[in-house]
C-alpha cells in the first residue's frame, strides 16, 4: 500500500502505469513525479553517504537501496524538490528530503525502522 501526502503539482508527465492498481487519486499524484536523475541525486549526496554508512542497507544502484534483499527506498523529483519512497511499517511512504531538516527526520525514521527489524 502506498501512502502519498503533500505533493504539489507540476504539469503531468504522462500516464502512470500503475493507475489501475492503486486507484485514480493516487495515480493522479504519481503522474506529477519522476524518478530522480543523477543530477537530482547529486543534490542529496550527503544523504546517500549517510544511508550507505548504516550498514544494513545495500545500494543496488545509485539512489536505490534494499534491506534484507527487498526494495527499501528510492528517490523522486517533483517541482524542484527531492522525495524518497521508503518502506516503513510494511508500506511505502513518500517523504520530502530537500532540506537538511527533512533529511534528518527521514534518517531518524530509517534508523528507527532498521532498529526494530520490521
Instruction: For the chain, 118 residues long, give each residue's pLDDT as a single digit of tens.
Output: 344 444 444 333 444 444 445 555 555 555 567 899 899 999 999 999 999 999 899 999 999 999 999 999 999 999 999 999 999 988 899 999 999 999 999 999 999 999 887 5
Q: For residue 116, what pLDDT is reported?
A: 82
Q: For residue 31, what pLDDT is reported?
A: 55
Rounded to two decimals, the pTM is: 0.71
Q: For residue 14, what pLDDT is reported?
A: 43
Q: For residue 89, what pLDDT is reported?
A: 83
DSSP category for residue 54: T
The crossing angle, in degrees rounded to 10, of helices 100-116 and 45-53 is 20
Grid cell, residue 105, equals: 527526520
Going through 1-118 in order, the beta strands assigned E by DSSP cover 2-3, 34-35, 57-61, 64-67, 70-78, 81-88, 91-96
Neighbouring C-alpha atoms within 13 Å toward the C-beta of 83: 21
Task: Yes or no: say if 100 and 107 are a contact pair by the CB < 8 Å rule.
Answer: no
Q: Measured between alpha carbons, how far is 47 from 79 in angstroms, rounded to an integer?
A: 20
Helix (H) or strand (E) holding 22: helix 19-22
Amino acid at each position: 500500500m502506498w501512502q502519498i501526502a503533500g505533493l504539489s503539482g507540476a504539469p503531468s508527465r504522462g500516464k502512470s502505469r500503475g493507475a489501475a492498481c492503486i486507484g485514480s487519486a493516487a495515480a493522479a499524484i504519481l503522474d506529477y513525479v519522476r524518478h530522480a536523475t543523477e543530477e537530482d541525486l547529486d543534490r542529496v549526496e550527503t544523504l546517500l553517504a549517510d544511508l550507505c554508512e548504516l550498514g544494513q542497507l545495500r545500494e543496488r544502484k545509485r539512489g536505490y537501496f534494499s534491506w534484507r534483499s527487498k526494495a527499501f527506498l528510492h528517490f523522486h523529483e517533483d517541482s524542484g524538490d527531492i522525495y524518497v519512497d521508503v518502506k516503513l511499517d510494511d508500506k511505502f511512504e513518500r517523504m520530502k528530503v530537500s532540506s537538511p531538516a527533512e533529511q534528518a527526520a527521514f534518517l531518524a525514521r530509517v534508523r528507527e525502522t532498521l532498529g526494530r527489524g520490521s
